[in-house]
Amino acid sequence: MNTRRLLAVSRKEVLHLRRDPRSLALGFAIPVLLLLLFGYVLTLDVDRVPLAVWDRSRTPESRELVSRFEGSRYFQVVLRAEGYPGMEAAIDEGRVLAALVIPEDFAGRVGSDRSSPVQLLLDGSEANTATIALGYAESVVSGYSADLEVRWARAKGLQGIRPPLDVRSRVWFNTGLESRNFIVPGLISVIMMIISALLTSLTVAREWEQGTMEQLLATPVTGPELILGKLVPYFLIGMADVVVAVTMGTLLFQVPFRGSMPLLFGIAAVFLAGALSLGMLFSVAARSQLPASQMAMAFTFLPSYLLSGFVFSIDSMPPLARAITYLVPSRYFVKAIKGVWLKGVGLRTLAAEGALLLAFAGMTILAATRLFHKKLR
């Protein structure tokens, strides 16, 4: 492989990017836009759930229970209902997600040390949000019940009730449980896949469509020199996007960075080489820009978004989908970048993911160079 010829191909691709500033701007604008959209708009947190309350008891005890919901950051009472028809209409219209019904004999049962049922109606059409809201409601009611038990014990002259288990939770790596800290690091994987889908999938195919490939075939440039030479400028653009993403994540979104910056960029460089080579492989195989871009979007962006564990937990997927995720390289990169960024783990912990990403990069580069034939067909 001749380094001079490889750099000449890279210079040619840089000149093309200078003549086509829209592609260059697209390569930098899309990552920034995605970071802003996902960082500010997409959230997995469930806060301020709109709640309707029908207090049939209208006693200090029932009002205290309602105040527990109002004082929680997870609920917001937006409707004081007077019956089931009003609550059902509010749920049907989407004005509330949950409805709390306190029975008439609530105070009497609580005062006589008897259990009192409390009804919570949930909008099951938003299953994930409803499940989380149910957990929040159970926590509020459990806290209220524990306080009632303590009051009852003190009224009986007891020192109090000591629970058999004292559970003290401690959250590591994301103490505030903010979904932004979970989303921003994983975005880098999606960003790099988009770079490969929108940029490298068009490089070789564009040469065939514009009729300039015949001129390249007439030069002494070999297939590997042509493929690698075209990859170099887009690799630099991709690494610049990683720098932008990491800078925005730490400074703009305040996601704490606990690991090694050189390790993160090293793993990102390996993954980026494989992702760009995969886009180049589609470009070589299709020999036309439209099919190449469609193949790249279908086989890179969608799997990295849906099957990498970036947004959706792999453990909750069906068995077949979980098996397919092992073929998605973004799965290993998402795990690696979250481990470095959020947990501060080292290369020893991520040795398996690093080896698999290195194998992915090597196989895609080899496949792209082998598939390219320096002759007209």
Residues of the chain within CATH 3.40.1710.10 domain(s) are 49-155
- What is the C-alpha to C-alpha distance for residues 100 and 80, in angstroms, rounded to an integer? 10
Residue 230 token pair: 């075209």
Q: Can you give the pLDDT at residue 226? A: 83
Q: Is residue 376 over pLDDT 60?
A: no
d(CA 162, CA 159): 9
Higher pLDDT, residue 211 or 329: 329
How far apart CA 88 and CA 60 sit, in angstroms, is 26
Q: Is the pLDDT of residue 358 over 90?
A: yes
pLDDT of residue 377: 54
DSSP 112-123: TT-----EEEE-
Do 80 and 159 form a contact (C-beta atoms < 8 A)? no
Count of C-beta atoms within a 10 Å radius of residue 374: 14
Alpha helix positions (H), 260-328: 261-286, 289-296, 302-306, 319-325
Q: How far apart are CA 90 and CA 97, in angstroms?
A: 8
Whether 52 and 78 have beta carbons less than 8 Å apart is answered as yes
Residue 265 has pLDDT above 90, yes or no: yes
173 or 274, higher pLDDT: 274
Residue 261 clears pLDDT 90, i.e. is over it? yes
Choose which CATH entry (2.40.10.10, 3.40.1710.10, 3.30.470.20, 2.40.110.10) describes domain 49-155: 3.40.1710.10
- Total-model pTM: 0.77
pLDDT in tens, 176-185: 777 778 888 8
Q: Are strands 98-102 and 119-122 parallel, antiparallel or unpaired?
A: antiparallel
- Predicted confidence at residue 264, as pLDDT, reads 93
106-157: pLDDT as tens digits: 888 877 777 888 899 998 887 878 888 888 888 888 888 877 777 766 666 6
pLDDT higher than threshold 70 for residue 374: no
Residue 155's pLDDT is 67
**Burial (Cβ within 10 Å: 0-12, 13-18, ≥19) of residue 211:** exposed
188-239 tens-digit pLDDT: 887 788 777 777 877 777 777 777 776 777 777 787 888 888 888 889 888 9
Q: In what order do the strands lie in the sheet with 49-55?
A: 75-80, 49-55, 98-102, 119-122
Q: What percent of the chain has pLDDT over 70?
A: 93
Q: Over 60: is that where the pLDDT of 89 sits?
A: yes
Cα dihedral 75, 78, 84, 86, rounded to 10, equals -150
Q: Letter for the amino acid at 272?
A: L
